[in-house]
Structure 1
Amino acid sequence: MQDILTAIVQGIVEGLTEFLPVSSTGHLILAGKLLGFTGEKADTFEIVIQLGAILAIAVIYWRRILGLLGLMKKADSSGNAKLNLIHVILACFPAMALGLILHSFIKTHLFSPYTVLVGLVLGGGFMLFGQKRQPKVQAEGMDQLSYKQALQIGLFQCLSLWPGFSRSGTTIAGGLLVGGSYRAATNFSFLIAIPMMVAASGYELLKSYHTLTAADAGFFATGFIVSFAVALLAVITFLKLLERLKLAPFAYYRFVIAAVFFIYLLTT
Protein backbone atom coordinates (compact mmCIF):
# COMPACT_ATOMS: atom_id res chain seq x y z
CA MET A 1 0.00 0.00 0.00
CA GLN A 2 2.86 2.35 0.83
CA ASP A 3 4.32 1.80 -2.65
CA ILE A 4 0.99 2.64 -4.28
CA LEU A 5 0.66 5.83 -2.22
CA THR A 6 4.19 6.80 -3.24
CA ALA A 7 3.31 6.13 -6.89
CA ILE A 8 0.20 8.31 -6.62
CA VAL A 9 2.02 11.17 -4.91
CA GLN A 10 4.93 11.13 -7.36
CA GLY A 11 2.51 10.79 -10.29
CA ILE A 12 0.63 13.87 -9.10
CA VAL A 13 3.88 15.80 -8.61
CA GLU A 14 5.07 14.88 -12.11
CA GLY A 15 1.73 15.62 -13.76
CA LEU A 16 1.37 18.99 -12.06
CA THR A 17 4.92 20.21 -12.59
CA GLU A 18 6.20 18.72 -15.86
CA PHE A 19 4.75 21.46 -18.05
CA LEU A 20 4.44 24.24 -15.51
CA PRO A 21 7.50 26.51 -15.27
CA VAL A 22 8.45 25.22 -11.82
CA SER A 23 10.76 22.25 -12.65
CA SER A 24 9.31 18.74 -12.45
CA THR A 25 12.76 17.18 -12.00
CA GLY A 26 13.45 19.43 -9.06
CA HIS A 27 10.11 18.67 -7.45
CA LEU A 28 10.52 14.92 -7.97
CA ILE A 29 13.98 14.95 -6.38
CA LEU A 30 12.73 16.95 -3.40
CA ALA A 31 9.54 14.89 -3.07
CA GLY A 32 11.55 11.67 -3.34
CA LYS A 33 13.74 12.80 -0.46
CA LEU A 34 10.67 13.58 1.65
CA LEU A 35 9.14 10.18 0.84
CA GLY A 36 12.40 8.30 1.28
CA PHE A 37 12.07 7.11 -2.31
CA THR A 38 15.51 7.25 -3.92
CA GLY A 39 17.88 4.98 -5.80
CA GLU A 40 17.74 3.10 -9.11
CA LYS A 41 14.10 2.12 -8.78
CA ALA A 42 13.11 5.72 -8.10
CA ASP A 43 15.12 6.94 -11.09
CA THR A 44 13.45 4.43 -13.41
CA PHE A 45 10.03 5.24 -11.97
CA GLU A 46 10.55 8.94 -12.74
CA ILE A 47 11.29 8.05 -16.36
CA VAL A 48 8.09 5.99 -16.65
CA ILE A 49 5.84 8.69 -15.20
CA GLN A 50 7.46 11.28 -17.47
CA LEU A 51 6.29 9.13 -20.39
CA GLY A 52 2.77 9.43 -18.96
CA ALA A 53 3.09 13.22 -19.03
CA ILE A 54 4.39 13.08 -22.61
CA LEU A 55 1.34 11.09 -23.65
CA ALA A 56 -0.89 13.83 -22.22
CA ILE A 57 0.81 16.45 -24.40
CA ALA A 58 0.57 14.18 -27.45
CA VAL A 59 -3.19 13.86 -26.86
CA ILE A 60 -3.63 17.64 -26.62
CA TYR A 61 -1.51 18.42 -29.69
CA TRP A 62 -2.38 15.40 -31.82
CA ARG A 63 -3.68 17.47 -34.73
CA ARG A 64 -0.57 19.63 -34.79
CA ILE A 65 1.67 16.55 -34.58
CA LEU A 66 -0.04 14.91 -37.51
CA GLY A 67 0.26 18.16 -39.42
CA LEU A 68 4.02 18.33 -38.79
CA LEU A 69 4.33 14.75 -40.02
CA GLY A 70 2.39 15.62 -43.18
CA LEU A 71 -0.58 13.46 -42.22
CA MET A 72 -3.02 16.32 -41.69
CA LYS A 73 -3.24 19.82 -43.07
CA LYS A 74 -3.03 22.39 -40.29
CA ALA A 75 -3.56 26.05 -41.07
CA ASP A 76 -3.30 29.13 -38.92
CA SER A 77 -5.80 31.99 -38.95
CA SER A 78 -4.31 33.37 -42.18
CA GLY A 79 -4.70 30.04 -43.90
CA ASN A 80 -1.02 29.12 -43.83
CA ALA A 81 0.66 26.50 -41.66
CA LYS A 82 4.18 27.91 -41.38
CA LEU A 83 5.48 25.86 -38.46
CA ASN A 84 7.25 22.74 -39.68
CA LEU A 85 9.65 20.05 -38.56
CA ILE A 86 12.66 22.29 -39.18
CA HIS A 87 11.44 24.61 -36.41
CA VAL A 88 11.16 21.65 -34.06
CA ILE A 89 14.59 20.27 -34.98
CA LEU A 90 16.26 23.67 -34.53
CA ALA A 91 14.63 24.07 -31.12
CA CYS A 92 15.53 20.58 -29.90
CA PHE A 93 19.01 19.97 -31.30
CA PRO A 94 21.10 22.25 -29.01
CA ALA A 95 19.82 20.80 -25.73
CA MET A 96 19.81 17.23 -27.07
CA ALA A 97 23.42 17.50 -28.25
CA LEU A 98 24.67 19.25 -25.12
CA GLY A 99 22.70 16.89 -22.89
CA LEU A 100 24.31 13.88 -24.57
CA ILE A 101 27.79 15.36 -24.15
CA LEU A 102 27.28 16.39 -20.51
CA HIS A 103 25.01 13.51 -19.46
CA SER A 104 27.51 11.84 -17.14
CA PHE A 105 28.55 15.13 -15.52
CA ILE A 106 24.93 16.22 -14.98
CA LYS A 107 23.94 12.89 -13.43
CA THR A 108 26.99 12.80 -11.18
CA HIS A 109 27.14 16.39 -9.99
CA LEU A 110 23.81 18.16 -10.50
CA PHE A 111 21.16 15.72 -9.27
CA SER A 112 21.12 16.68 -5.61
CA PRO A 113 18.64 18.67 -3.48
CA TYR A 114 21.04 21.59 -3.09
CA THR A 115 21.80 21.96 -6.80
CA VAL A 116 18.06 21.76 -7.49
CA LEU A 117 17.44 24.65 -5.09
CA VAL A 118 20.04 26.71 -6.95
CA GLY A 119 18.29 25.87 -10.22
CA LEU A 120 14.90 26.85 -8.82
CA VAL A 121 16.18 30.28 -7.80
CA LEU A 122 18.19 30.99 -10.96
CA GLY A 123 15.38 29.69 -13.18
CA GLY A 124 12.86 31.90 -11.40
CA GLY A 125 15.12 34.89 -11.91
CA PHE A 126 15.42 34.09 -15.62
CA MET A 127 11.63 33.86 -15.93
CA LEU A 128 11.21 37.30 -14.34
CA PHE A 129 13.87 38.65 -16.70
CA GLY A 130 12.09 37.18 -19.71
CA GLN A 131 8.76 38.69 -18.66
CA LYS A 132 10.26 42.12 -17.94
CA ARG A 133 12.48 42.34 -21.03
CA GLN A 134 9.99 40.96 -23.56
CA PRO A 135 10.35 43.06 -26.75
CA LYS A 136 7.56 43.98 -29.11
CA VAL A 137 5.68 40.82 -30.05
CA GLN A 138 6.63 39.58 -33.50
CA ALA A 139 4.93 36.18 -33.36
CA GLU A 140 1.39 36.00 -31.98
CA GLY A 141 1.15 32.26 -32.62
CA MET A 142 3.47 29.32 -33.26
CA ASP A 143 3.02 29.66 -37.01
CA GLN A 144 4.61 33.11 -36.95
CA LEU A 145 7.85 31.89 -35.33
CA SER A 146 10.88 32.08 -37.62
CA TYR A 147 13.68 29.53 -37.88
CA LYS A 148 15.97 31.98 -36.08
CA GLN A 149 13.53 32.34 -33.20
CA ALA A 150 13.13 28.55 -32.96
CA LEU A 151 16.92 28.13 -32.74
CA GLN A 152 17.20 30.87 -30.14
CA ILE A 153 14.53 29.19 -28.03
CA GLY A 154 16.49 25.95 -28.41
CA LEU A 155 19.63 27.64 -27.12
CA PHE A 156 17.75 28.96 -24.09
CA GLN A 157 16.45 25.43 -23.53
CA CYS A 158 20.03 24.33 -22.78
CA LEU A 159 19.70 26.10 -19.41
CA SER A 160 17.17 23.47 -18.39
CA LEU A 161 19.87 20.78 -18.38
CA TRP A 162 20.55 22.07 -14.86
CA PRO A 163 17.94 20.27 -12.71
CA GLY A 164 15.57 22.79 -11.16
CA PHE A 165 15.86 25.34 -13.96
CA SER A 166 12.71 23.99 -15.70
CA ARG A 167 12.51 23.14 -19.38
CA SER A 168 9.15 24.87 -19.84
CA GLY A 169 10.27 27.88 -17.81
CA THR A 170 13.39 28.46 -19.91
CA THR A 171 11.66 27.92 -23.25
CA ILE A 172 8.65 30.10 -22.42
CA ALA A 173 10.84 32.91 -21.03
CA GLY A 174 13.21 32.44 -23.97
CA GLY A 175 10.29 32.58 -26.37
CA LEU A 176 9.23 35.90 -24.87
CA LEU A 177 12.77 37.30 -25.15
CA VAL A 178 12.93 36.53 -28.88
CA GLY A 179 9.62 38.23 -29.64
CA GLY A 180 7.00 35.54 -29.14
CA SER A 181 3.69 36.14 -27.42
CA TYR A 182 2.79 34.19 -24.29
CA ARG A 183 0.53 32.01 -26.44
CA ALA A 184 3.21 31.34 -29.06
CA ALA A 185 5.96 30.71 -26.51
CA THR A 186 3.84 28.39 -24.37
CA ASN A 187 2.41 26.30 -27.19
CA PHE A 188 5.81 25.95 -28.84
CA SER A 189 7.38 25.02 -25.50
CA PHE A 190 4.81 22.25 -24.99
CA LEU A 191 5.11 20.99 -28.56
CA ILE A 192 8.90 20.64 -28.52
CA ALA A 193 8.61 18.93 -25.12
CA ILE A 194 7.44 15.78 -26.92
CA PRO A 195 10.65 14.97 -28.86
CA MET A 196 12.83 16.31 -26.05
CA MET A 197 11.21 14.14 -23.40
CA VAL A 198 10.88 11.06 -25.61
CA ALA A 199 14.59 11.27 -26.43
CA ALA A 200 15.67 11.89 -22.82
CA SER A 201 13.30 9.35 -21.28
CA GLY A 202 14.02 6.75 -23.95
CA TYR A 203 17.77 7.09 -23.43
CA GLU A 204 17.44 6.77 -19.67
CA LEU A 205 15.02 3.85 -19.95
CA LEU A 206 17.41 1.91 -22.18
CA LYS A 207 20.09 2.33 -19.53
CA SER A 208 17.91 1.32 -16.58
CA TYR A 209 15.30 -1.12 -17.94
CA HIS A 210 17.00 -3.94 -16.02
CA THR A 211 15.55 -2.50 -12.81
CA LEU A 212 12.00 -3.22 -14.01
CA THR A 213 10.38 -6.38 -12.65
CA ALA A 214 6.95 -7.95 -13.02
CA ALA A 215 6.34 -7.36 -9.31
CA ASP A 216 6.59 -3.60 -9.87
CA ALA A 217 4.10 -3.53 -12.76
CA GLY A 218 1.20 -2.22 -10.68
CA PHE A 219 3.38 0.39 -8.99
CA PHE A 220 4.73 1.75 -12.29
CA ALA A 221 1.32 1.58 -14.01
CA THR A 222 -0.27 3.57 -11.20
CA GLY A 223 2.32 6.33 -11.47
CA PHE A 224 2.01 6.40 -15.26
CA ILE A 225 -1.80 6.71 -15.24
CA VAL A 226 -1.85 9.33 -12.47
CA SER A 227 0.85 11.37 -14.21
CA PHE A 228 -1.03 11.24 -17.53
CA ALA A 229 -4.38 12.31 -16.04
CA VAL A 230 -2.95 15.10 -13.89
CA ALA A 231 -0.71 16.44 -16.70
CA LEU A 232 -3.70 16.54 -19.05
CA LEU A 233 -5.68 18.69 -16.62
CA ALA A 234 -2.67 20.83 -15.67
CA VAL A 235 -1.74 21.74 -19.25
CA ILE A 236 -5.29 22.59 -20.28
CA THR A 237 -5.66 24.81 -17.19
CA PHE A 238 -2.24 26.40 -17.59
CA LEU A 239 -2.85 27.32 -21.24
CA LYS A 240 -5.96 29.22 -20.18
CA LEU A 241 -4.31 31.00 -17.25
CA LEU A 242 -0.83 31.95 -18.44
CA GLU A 243 -1.70 35.01 -20.52
CA ARG A 244 -3.54 36.42 -17.50
CA LEU A 245 -1.12 35.34 -14.77
CA LYS A 246 2.17 35.75 -16.69
CA LEU A 247 5.33 34.07 -15.38
CA ALA A 248 5.88 36.09 -12.21
CA PRO A 249 3.63 34.05 -9.84
CA PHE A 250 5.44 30.85 -10.84
CA ALA A 251 8.82 32.52 -10.32
CA TYR A 252 7.84 33.67 -6.83
CA TYR A 253 6.53 30.19 -6.05
CA ARG A 254 9.95 28.81 -6.99
CA PHE A 255 11.66 31.22 -4.60
CA VAL A 256 9.33 30.22 -1.76
CA ILE A 257 9.67 26.46 -2.32
CA ALA A 258 13.46 26.82 -2.56
CA ALA A 259 13.56 28.70 0.75
CA VAL A 260 11.30 26.17 2.49
CA PHE A 261 13.33 23.18 1.32
CA PHE A 262 16.62 24.90 2.12
CA ILE A 263 15.47 25.33 5.70
CA TYR A 264 14.25 21.71 5.74
CA LEU A 265 17.59 20.39 4.47
CA LEU A 266 19.48 22.41 7.05
CA THR A 267 17.39 21.00 9.90
CA THR A 268 17.39 17.30 8.89
Structure 2
Amino acid sequence: MLVIKTKNDLRAELDKIDKEQGLGFVPTMGALHEGHVSLIERAAEENNYIVVSIFVNPTQFNNSEDLEKYPKTLENDINLIASVADEAIVFAPSVSEIYEKNVTHNLYDFDGLDKVMEGEFRDNHFNGVGTIVEKLLRLVSPNKAYFGEKDFQQLRIIQKMTELQHLPVEILGCEIVREKNGLAMSSRNERLSDTIRLKAAFIYETLKTAKQKFGTENVISIKDWVHKAFEQNADFQLEYFEITDSETLTPIKQKSNNIKYRAFIAAYAENVRLIDNLALN
Protein backbone atom coordinates (compact mmCIF):
# COMPACT_ATOMS: atom_id res chain seq x y z
CA MET A 1 0.00 0.00 0.00
CA LEU A 2 1.28 3.44 -0.94
CA VAL A 3 1.07 6.45 1.37
CA ILE A 4 1.46 9.68 -0.59
CA LYS A 5 1.68 13.20 0.83
CA THR A 6 2.07 15.50 -2.18
CA LYS A 7 -0.16 16.30 -5.13
CA ASN A 8 2.65 15.77 -7.62
CA ASP A 9 3.46 12.31 -6.28
CA LEU A 10 -0.24 11.40 -6.37
CA ARG A 11 -0.59 12.58 -9.98
CA ALA A 12 2.49 10.58 -10.95
CA GLU A 13 1.04 7.42 -9.38
CA LEU A 14 -2.41 7.93 -10.88
CA ASP A 15 -0.86 8.39 -14.33
CA LYS A 16 0.12 4.69 -14.16
CA ILE A 17 -3.51 3.64 -13.68
CA ASP A 18 -5.95 2.63 -16.41
CA LYS A 19 -9.05 4.39 -15.09
CA GLU A 20 -11.25 2.49 -17.51
CA GLN A 21 -10.76 -0.46 -15.13
CA GLY A 22 -12.39 1.63 -12.38
CA LEU A 23 -10.95 4.11 -9.92
CA GLY A 24 -12.87 4.57 -6.67
CA PHE A 25 -12.29 7.36 -4.18
CA VAL A 26 -13.11 7.56 -0.46
CA PRO A 27 -12.41 11.01 1.04
CA THR A 28 -12.10 11.03 4.84
CA MET A 29 -10.91 13.25 7.67
CA GLY A 30 -9.24 10.32 9.39
CA ALA A 31 -10.03 8.88 12.83
CA LEU A 32 -11.41 5.98 10.83
CA HIS A 33 -14.08 3.60 12.15
CA GLU A 34 -16.29 0.81 10.81
CA GLY A 35 -18.38 3.32 8.89
CA HIS A 36 -15.32 4.31 6.87
CA VAL A 37 -14.35 0.67 6.50
CA SER A 38 -17.71 -0.04 4.84
CA LEU A 39 -17.04 2.73 2.29
CA ILE A 40 -13.54 1.42 1.55
CA GLU A 41 -14.82 -2.15 1.20
CA ARG A 42 -17.52 -1.09 -1.24
CA ALA A 43 -15.03 0.99 -3.25
CA ALA A 44 -12.67 -2.00 -3.41
CA GLU A 45 -15.49 -4.30 -4.53
CA GLU A 46 -16.61 -1.99 -7.33
CA ASN A 47 -13.24 -0.76 -8.64
CA ASN A 48 -9.85 -2.19 -9.56
CA TYR A 49 -8.09 0.79 -7.98
CA ILE A 50 -8.96 2.95 -4.97
CA VAL A 51 -7.67 6.12 -3.35
CA VAL A 52 -8.46 6.95 0.28
CA SER A 53 -7.67 10.49 1.39
CA ILE A 54 -7.03 11.49 5.00
CA PHE A 55 -7.26 15.24 5.46
CA VAL A 56 -8.78 17.31 8.27
CA ASN A 57 -10.16 20.22 6.28
CA PRO A 58 -9.91 23.53 8.16
CA THR A 59 -12.31 25.48 5.92
CA GLN A 60 -15.36 23.45 6.98
CA PHE A 61 -14.95 24.09 10.71
CA ASN A 62 -16.82 27.06 12.16
CA ASN A 63 -15.45 26.40 15.61
CA SER A 64 -11.64 26.54 15.96
CA GLU A 65 -11.85 24.51 19.18
CA ASP A 66 -13.73 21.77 17.31
CA LEU A 67 -10.96 21.73 14.70
CA GLU A 68 -8.28 21.46 17.37
CA LYS A 69 -10.09 18.62 19.14
CA TYR A 70 -10.74 16.61 15.99
CA PRO A 71 -8.86 13.31 16.54
CA LYS A 72 -5.77 12.74 14.40
CA THR A 73 -4.79 9.08 14.26
CA LEU A 74 -2.89 8.77 10.98
CA GLU A 75 -0.81 5.68 11.84
CA ASN A 76 -3.85 3.76 13.06
CA ASP A 77 -5.84 4.90 10.03
CA ILE A 78 -3.17 3.66 7.62
CA ASN A 79 -3.03 0.28 9.38
CA LEU A 80 -6.83 -0.02 9.23
CA ILE A 81 -6.92 0.78 5.51
CA ALA A 82 -4.14 -1.77 4.87
CA SER A 83 -6.17 -4.44 6.66
CA VAL A 84 -9.15 -3.78 4.38
CA ALA A 85 -7.58 -2.87 1.03
CA ASP A 86 -3.83 -3.39 1.01
CA GLU A 87 -3.49 -2.17 -2.58
CA ALA A 88 -5.14 1.18 -1.88
CA ILE A 89 -3.37 4.48 -2.39
CA VAL A 90 -3.57 6.63 0.75
CA PHE A 91 -3.31 10.37 0.17
CA ALA A 92 -2.47 12.20 3.41
CA PRO A 93 -1.47 15.77 2.54
CA SER A 94 -0.76 18.75 4.80
CA VAL A 95 -2.96 21.84 4.85
CA SER A 96 -0.28 23.82 3.00
CA GLU A 97 -0.05 21.11 0.33
CA ILE A 98 -3.79 21.40 -0.40
CA TYR A 99 -4.39 25.12 0.09
CA GLU A 100 -0.86 26.50 -0.32
CA LYS A 101 -0.97 30.03 1.12
CA ASN A 102 -4.70 30.62 0.62
CA VAL A 103 -6.65 28.68 3.27
CA THR A 104 -10.13 29.82 2.26
CA HIS A 105 -13.28 28.37 0.75
CA ASN A 106 -15.06 28.93 -2.53
CA LEU A 107 -18.63 30.21 -2.71
CA TYR A 108 -21.26 27.95 -4.24
CA ASP A 109 -24.94 28.19 -5.06
CA PHE A 110 -26.37 24.91 -3.80
CA ASP A 111 -30.00 25.75 -4.69
CA GLY A 112 -30.90 26.13 -1.02
CA LEU A 113 -29.63 22.69 0.04
CA ASP A 114 -27.17 24.47 2.35
CA LYS A 115 -29.64 26.87 3.98
CA VAL A 116 -31.41 24.44 6.30
CA MET A 117 -30.41 22.19 9.20
CA GLU A 118 -26.59 22.04 9.28
CA GLY A 119 -26.35 25.15 7.13
CA GLU A 120 -28.53 27.13 9.52
CA PHE A 121 -26.21 26.39 12.46
CA ARG A 122 -22.83 26.17 10.70
CA ASP A 123 -22.22 29.23 8.56
CA ASN A 124 -20.18 28.50 5.41
CA HIS A 125 -19.64 24.89 6.50
CA PHE A 126 -20.83 23.54 3.17
CA ASN A 127 -18.78 26.03 1.17
CA GLY A 128 -15.78 24.52 2.98
CA VAL A 129 -16.97 20.98 2.25
CA GLY A 130 -17.61 21.81 -1.40
CA THR A 131 -14.19 23.42 -1.74
CA ILE A 132 -12.18 20.48 -0.42
CA VAL A 133 -14.24 17.83 -2.20
CA GLU A 134 -13.96 19.70 -5.51
CA LYS A 135 -10.18 20.02 -5.04
CA LEU A 136 -9.83 16.32 -4.29
CA LEU A 137 -12.14 15.17 -7.08
CA ARG A 138 -10.26 17.26 -9.63
CA LEU A 139 -6.97 15.87 -8.35
CA VAL A 140 -7.95 12.19 -8.21
CA SER A 141 -10.45 12.19 -11.13
CA PRO A 142 -12.18 9.00 -9.95
CA ASN A 143 -14.99 7.18 -11.71
CA LYS A 144 -16.88 6.84 -8.43
CA ALA A 145 -16.66 8.54 -5.02
CA TYR A 146 -18.22 7.15 -1.84
CA PHE A 147 -19.85 9.06 1.02
CA GLY A 148 -21.77 7.89 4.09
CA GLU A 149 -25.45 8.71 4.45
CA LYS A 150 -24.95 9.74 8.09
CA ASP A 151 -24.04 13.11 6.57
CA PHE A 152 -27.00 12.94 4.19
CA GLN A 153 -27.22 16.71 3.70
CA GLN A 154 -23.53 16.77 2.85
CA LEU A 155 -24.07 13.91 0.37
CA ARG A 156 -26.82 15.83 -1.43
CA ILE A 157 -24.68 18.98 -1.51
CA ILE A 158 -21.69 17.13 -2.97
CA GLN A 159 -23.95 15.64 -5.61
CA LYS A 160 -25.16 19.16 -6.42
CA MET A 161 -21.60 20.53 -6.48
CA THR A 162 -20.41 17.90 -8.97
CA GLU A 163 -23.42 18.71 -11.14
CA LEU A 164 -22.72 22.47 -11.01
CA GLN A 165 -18.99 22.01 -11.73
CA HIS A 166 -19.64 19.38 -14.43
CA LEU A 167 -17.32 16.87 -12.77
CA PRO A 168 -17.46 13.44 -14.46
CA VAL A 169 -17.77 11.36 -11.31
CA GLU A 170 -20.59 9.29 -9.82
CA ILE A 171 -21.29 10.28 -6.20
CA LEU A 172 -22.58 7.28 -4.28
CA GLY A 173 -24.24 7.28 -0.88
CA CYS A 174 -23.64 4.33 1.44
CA GLU A 175 -25.83 3.16 4.32
CA ILE A 176 -25.20 4.39 7.85
CA VAL A 177 -23.15 1.98 9.95
CA ARG A 178 -24.26 1.89 13.58
CA GLU A 179 -22.85 0.80 16.90
CA LYS A 180 -24.58 -2.12 18.65
CA ASN A 181 -26.93 0.26 20.46
CA GLY A 182 -27.92 2.03 17.23
CA LEU A 183 -25.75 5.15 17.61
CA ALA A 184 -24.52 6.24 14.18
CA MET A 185 -20.79 5.64 13.97
CA SER A 186 -18.77 8.85 14.04
CA SER A 187 -15.24 9.89 14.93
CA ARG A 188 -16.83 12.24 17.46
CA ASN A 189 -18.21 9.29 19.43
CA GLU A 190 -14.71 8.73 20.82
CA ARG A 191 -15.09 11.97 22.80
CA LEU A 192 -18.12 10.64 24.71
CA SER A 193 -17.88 8.94 28.09
CA ASP A 194 -18.75 5.24 28.05
CA THR A 195 -21.99 5.96 29.94
CA ILE A 196 -23.25 8.62 27.56
CA ARG A 197 -22.13 6.64 24.53
CA LEU A 198 -24.46 3.85 25.63
CA LYS A 199 -27.27 6.26 26.45
CA ALA A 200 -26.88 7.89 23.01
CA ALA A 201 -29.00 5.06 21.63
CA PHE A 202 -31.76 7.54 22.57
CA ILE A 203 -31.09 9.51 19.37
CA TYR A 204 -31.68 6.57 17.03
CA GLU A 205 -34.63 5.33 19.09
CA THR A 206 -36.19 8.79 18.74
CA LEU A 207 -35.78 8.65 14.96
CA LYS A 208 -37.32 5.18 14.79
CA THR A 209 -40.33 6.27 16.85
CA ALA A 210 -40.71 9.35 14.63
CA LYS A 211 -40.77 7.00 11.62
CA GLN A 212 -43.53 4.94 13.22
CA LYS A 213 -45.53 8.08 13.98
CA PHE A 214 -45.02 9.35 10.43
CA GLY A 215 -47.44 6.70 9.19
CA THR A 216 -50.37 8.00 11.22
CA GLU A 217 -49.61 11.45 12.67
CA ASN A 218 -49.02 14.89 11.18
CA VAL A 219 -45.60 16.53 10.99
CA ILE A 220 -46.28 19.18 13.64
CA SER A 221 -47.33 16.62 16.26
CA ILE A 222 -44.26 14.49 15.53
CA LYS A 223 -41.93 17.48 15.93
CA ASP A 224 -43.66 18.43 19.18
CA TRP A 225 -43.20 14.89 20.47
CA VAL A 226 -39.47 14.89 19.61
CA HIS A 227 -38.89 18.23 21.36
CA LYS A 228 -40.68 16.99 24.49
CA ALA A 229 -38.69 13.73 24.44
CA PHE A 230 -35.44 15.71 24.50
CA GLU A 231 -36.71 18.09 27.17
CA GLN A 232 -37.28 15.07 29.39
CA ASN A 233 -33.76 13.71 28.82
CA ALA A 234 -31.18 15.90 30.56
CA ASP A 235 -28.22 14.11 28.96
CA PHE A 236 -28.99 15.46 25.49
CA GLN A 237 -29.70 18.95 24.16
CA LEU A 238 -31.61 19.08 20.89
CA GLU A 239 -30.29 21.53 18.30
CA TYR A 240 -32.82 20.68 15.60
CA PHE A 241 -35.23 18.04 14.40
CA GLU A 242 -36.58 18.32 10.85
CA ILE A 243 -38.61 16.25 8.44
CA THR A 244 -37.69 17.12 4.85
CA ASP A 245 -38.15 16.16 1.25
CA SER A 246 -35.23 13.75 0.66
CA GLU A 247 -34.38 15.31 -2.69
CA THR A 248 -34.60 19.05 -2.00
CA LEU A 249 -34.10 18.88 1.80
CA THR A 250 -36.95 21.38 2.14
CA PRO A 251 -38.57 21.06 5.60
CA ILE A 252 -42.21 20.09 5.29
CA LYS A 253 -45.36 20.89 7.24
CA GLN A 254 -47.50 18.18 5.72
CA LYS A 255 -47.03 15.01 3.70
CA SER A 256 -47.71 14.53 0.00
CA ASN A 257 -47.99 11.34 -2.03
CA ASN A 258 -45.09 10.02 -4.14
CA ILE A 259 -42.41 12.02 -2.29
CA LYS A 260 -39.61 10.47 -0.24
CA TYR A 261 -39.08 11.97 3.21
CA ARG A 262 -36.28 11.86 5.74
CA ALA A 263 -35.99 12.84 9.41
CA PHE A 264 -32.85 14.62 10.69
CA ILE A 265 -31.56 15.21 14.22
CA ALA A 266 -28.64 17.21 15.63
CA ALA A 267 -28.04 17.15 19.37
CA TYR A 268 -25.31 17.74 21.94
CA ALA A 269 -24.12 15.33 24.59
CA GLU A 270 -21.20 16.28 26.86
CA ASN A 271 -20.52 19.20 24.48
CA VAL A 272 -20.09 16.76 21.58
CA ARG A 273 -22.31 17.41 18.57
CA LEU A 274 -24.03 14.30 17.19
CA ILE A 275 -26.11 14.01 14.02
CA ASP A 276 -28.26 11.26 12.57
CA ASN A 277 -31.04 10.75 10.04
CA LEU A 278 -33.49 8.12 8.87
CA ALA A 279 -35.58 7.54 5.75
CA LEU A 280 -39.26 7.69 6.66
CA ASN A 281 -40.86 6.02 3.62
TM-score class, shorter: under 0.3
Larger Rg: 2
- Superposition TM-score, scaled by structure 2 size: 0.26
- Superposition TM-score, scaled by structure 1 size: 0.27
The structure that is strand-richer by fraction is: 2
Higher relative contact order (CA 8 A, sep 6+): 1
